[in-house]
Homo-oligomer: A and B are copies of this chain.
Amino acid sequence: MSVNKVILVGNLGKDPELRYTPAGTAVATFPLATSERYRDKSGQQVEKTEWHNIVVWRNLAEICGKYLHKGKQVYIEGKIRTRSYTDRDGNKRYITEIEAEQMQMLGRIGDDVGSRAPAPAAAQDDFNQQPAASFDEPAYNPDDDIPF
């Protein structure tokens, strides 16, 4: 009975870091900047940048590691997640991250100066993906008889 959804369009502050859990699951992390322009009390235009900690799992992590790079503009859809950890002084601390479930590269494919690999397509965390074998019930089939 609840919804936890985040939609971001921003630019990567660094290349993604791709790591693996002991169990072998891929996980990529990168900072994403969104910025907002507004006028302060004196009427002057100022810009405020928000930095988001993006975390991506499984196949989507591999795609991010391969195709994204510092400066790239992306669309991210995911959820907010706050983790606790213990710092070196033994204090419990919290970090809020965005767990991305969908990622879309934005802009023309040609304009990727710093690209690390040839251009890909949109991508989704495979965890909620159907197995390749089960396409007998298509998500959308315009040739099927629609009973309404």
Contacts of A48 in B (CB 8 A): 140, 142
Contacts of A98 in B (CB 8 A): 80
Minimum Cβ distance to chain B for residue A83 (Å) = 8
8 Å CB interface, A30-50 against B: 33-41, 43, 48, 50
Copies per complex? 4
CA distance A48 to B4 in the complex (A): 12
Contacts of A73 in B (CB 8 A): 1, 106-108
A110 and chain B: residue at smallest CB distance: B111
Minimum Cβ distance to chain B for residue A142 (Å) = 8
Contacts of A2 in B (CB 8 A): 8-11, 33-36, 104, 122
- B128 near A129 with CB under 8 A, answer yes
**New A-B contacts (15) at CB < 8 Å, excluding given A5-B7, A22-B145, A50-B81:** A1-B9, A1-B121, A2-B33, A2-B34, A6-B7, A9-B104, A17-B148, A22-B147, A27-B148, A41-B135, A50-B82, A73-B107, A107-B108, A108-B111, A128-B139
Mark A residues whose CB is within 8 Å of B: 1-11, 17, 19-23, 25, 27, 29, 33-41, 43, 48, 50-52, 55, 57-58, 73, 75, 77, 79-83, 93-96, 98-99, 104-108, 110-111, 121-122, 127-131, 134-142, 144-148
